[in-house]
Amino acid sequence: GLGRIGVRLGEDGIARAVDLREGLGAATWPLLAEEVLRVARRLPAAAAAADRQAAEVPAALSHLLLREDLRRIRFAGPPGTLPRIPYASLLQGNVPPELVAGRIVLIGVTATGLGDFVPTPVSAESQPMPGVEVLANVLLAMRDGQLIRDLPRLPALLLAAFLAGVPMLWLPRLMPLPGLLLS
């Protein structure tokens, strides 16, 4: 399979989301995590996107990078939460075969100073997460159906207005200090 690594950094430089589809002129390239699950035959039916046919793209739009289906990543924990095995130990036969049998194994660099490291909400800038571990978190979240969708704009606005309006019910009835503490 062929997939891309498309972690989207927020305005603050923190990696929180991925686009399920991306491409030039048409968003047809899937995430590497999706392709790994598809090749391993572990892609949940809910996550299996319909095969997209490359539509005829006007020449004026064929150079634009298009992204679709933004999802937030549900991280398993801070860096080092997911099990790691040194690749040299695996090659030298120091790892029992049953430890990796039937599992999806991702190979990547986790040593400080090598490879790609990105700050995440569970690590921030104090201890950036290796790119292969971010990929593993995306893969696990996709496999378990736990990639997070943003609430559509109208329901989000209504919920925010409701939450902003609720304190107005009790604030006029309270003295200043209890009202401040309760709010």
Residues of the chain with pLDDT > 90, as a percent, come to: 48
Q: What is the pLDDT of residue 138?
A: 95
Phi and psi, residue 31, nearest 5°: -70, 150
Task: Indicate whether this model's pTM tops 0.95.
Answer: no
Residue among 117, 6, 13 nearest 67 (CA): 6
Write out pLDDT tens, residues 26-36. Answer: 888 899 999 99
pLDDT at residue 46 is higher than 80: no
Mean pLDDT computed over 45-71: 68
Instruction: Round the average pLDDT of the chain to a whole number and report it.
Output: 86
